Amino acid sequence: MLPSAGRHRRTRTLSIAAAVACAAGAGGVYLGLSTGGAQAAPGTVTVSTAAHLEQAVKSATAGTVIQVRGGTYHPAATLRSTANGTSSAPITLRAYDGEKVRIDGSRLPAGSWLAAIYGDHWTVQDLAFVNSPAQGFVATSSAGGIFRNLVTADNGDSGFTLRGDGTTGNLVQNLDSHGNYDPAGHGRNADGIAVKFGSGTGNRITGARLYDNADDGLDLWQFSSPVTIEHSWAFGNGENRWNDTAFEGNGNGFELGGGGASVAHVVNNNAAWDNTLHGFTENSNTGAVALNRNTAYANAEDGFHFATGKARLGGNLAVGDKGGAAKLGSSTVSAGNDWDSGIATPPFRTTDATGAYGARRADGSLPPTTFLTTGSTTIGSTMDFADTP
């Protein structure tokens, strides 16, 4: 989708105190619009119900800022918009002034997505999307989106999804996505984050924690353009935590393709541990996936499974994976990894994962930890990277 033509709008966010008072925790929403002049745009309101949140998202246009007061919201319908922002006047949906906001889909009709954005240049940040009957948050054919400091948890399908052709230039930063499980599919579809069924360049995922999901931590199924994944962790995926007697979850940490796509994704400085299949896998992607300085630890199958494609692996570390460090095909290039001849395996400072579950830093980046760190400047994930916008 291309941004609509016309004059750009300059956003002016008014003070909550100057509007109708709304107690923190009551579920207030502030929608601020202006055209840059004395004339106020229609819809400059302060409201305090989930219904008003639904309407604010539905009515948003370029330059809209929706600030959500602290509390838990139970929408009666999917938060849905087809509006486009622009690079200079994005549409913004965010928590107000650091307040904690949970958007809870437990009262939606069966099969509903919790949030569905079909537009360009949206900034969505500092919100939790939880308990949806199906997908938690979905952006379709989005260009220039910024999705930062979000939580997508305990949804009935994948937590966070980018999909569709024209998915270009999106940033997913500091996402926590966990506990997602699709009962209808017995766990075979619910990933932490999915970038699938589409195309578009310039998409980047950084600072994510993708854990305890029914299927994979990250899934790039049938996405035909390169995606960059960096400084992210995928762990504990694929375990049947829901007592599903017909459970079908896969449990790869990073599933880097599949469905016939041949794509050179870029995968740098990530870690995968305690997943029920592989830490990192091409999933039959025949493209030249580039993996540099990643760590696989204690996965139930291979640390790195790249048996059919043309992957390029360098500076990766695999320890304690039950299927073996790496299964590589004849077209794979492997150099400087700890399974290659003459490369030593540096010891971990600790294999106690407690720190990896800790609170994120003030800016939303991953928590400081010595888990799976080695001090090496050449091999394995650094684990302690503090990401910046």
Q: Quick: pLDDT tens for 158-195.
A: 999 999 999 999 999 999 999 999 999 999 999 999 99
Q: What is the pLDDT of residue 96?
A: 85
Tokens matching residue 374: 């080695």
Q: What is the pLDDT of residue 70?
A: 86
Of the candidate ranges 34-48, 156-170, 243-257, 356-370, the one whose mean pLDDT is the lowest: 34-48
For the chain, how many structural domains are there in total? Answer: 1
How many whole angstroms separate alpha carbon 12 and alpha carbon 104? 29
Residue 96 covered by a domain: no
Q: Once rounded to an integer, what is the mean pLDDT over residues 123-149?
A: 98
Of the candidate ranges 10-19, 123-132, 179-188, 306-315, the one whose mean pLDDT is the lowest: 10-19
Residue 362 covered by a domain: yes
Residue 182 covered by a domain: yes
Q: What is the pLDDT of residue 242?
A: 98
Residue 257 covered by a domain: yes
Residue 10 covered by a domain: no
Please name the residues in contact with 230: beta carbons below 8 A apart, sequence gap of 6 or more: 204, 205, 206, 266, 267, 268, 269, 270
Confidence tier at 280 by pLDDT (50, 70, 90):
very high
Q: Once rounded to an integer, what is the mean pLDDT over residues 246-265?
A: 96
- Is residue 36 scored above 50 in pLDDT? no
Residue 74 covered by a domain: no
The mean of the pLDDT values for the chain is 88
CB 225 within 8 A of CB 165: no
Q: Quick one: what percent of the chain has pLDDT higher than 70?
A: 86
Residue 299 covered by a domain: yes
Q: What is the pLDDT of residue 30?
A: 53
Q: What is the pLDDT of residue 10?
A: 34
Confidence tier at 208 by pLDDT (50, 70, 90):
very high
Q: Once rounded to an integer, what is the mean pLDDT over residues 250-266?
A: 95
> For residue 76, how many other CB atoms are within 10 A of its CB?
11
Tokens matching residue 382: 């650094």
Residue 92 covered by a domain: no
Give 281-293 pLDDT, tens digit per residue: 999 999 999 999 9
CB 355 within 8 A of CB 370: yes
Confidence tier at 11 by pLDDT (50, 70, 90):
very low
CA-CA distances (angstroms) from residue 307 to 254, 279, 327, 341? 15, 14, 6, 19
Q: What is the pLDDT of residue 384?
A: 76
Could you tell me the residue range of the domain that residue 243 belongs to? 135-382
- Is residue 37 scored above 80 in pLDDT? no
Q: Once rounded to an integer, what is the mean pLDDT over residues 116-135?
A: 98
For residues 190-212, one letter each, b for 16 or more C-beta atoms within 10 angstroms of the residue's C-beta and e for the rest, the string is: bbbbbbbbbbbeebebbbbbbbb
Q: What is the CATH number of the domain that holds 280?
A: 2.160.20.10
Confidence tier at 45 by pLDDT (50, 70, 90):
very low
How many whole angstroms separate alpha carbon 240 and alpha carbon 242? 6
Q: What is the pLDDT of residue 33?
A: 36
Q: What is the pLDDT of residue 261?
A: 87
- Is residue 28 scored above 80 in pLDDT? no
- Is residue 140 scored above 60 in pLDDT? yes
Please name the residues in contact with 283: beta carbons below 8 A apart, sequence gap of 6 or more: 221, 252, 255, 256, 257, 258
Q: Once rounded to an integer, what is the mean pLDDT over residues 56-61?
A: 92
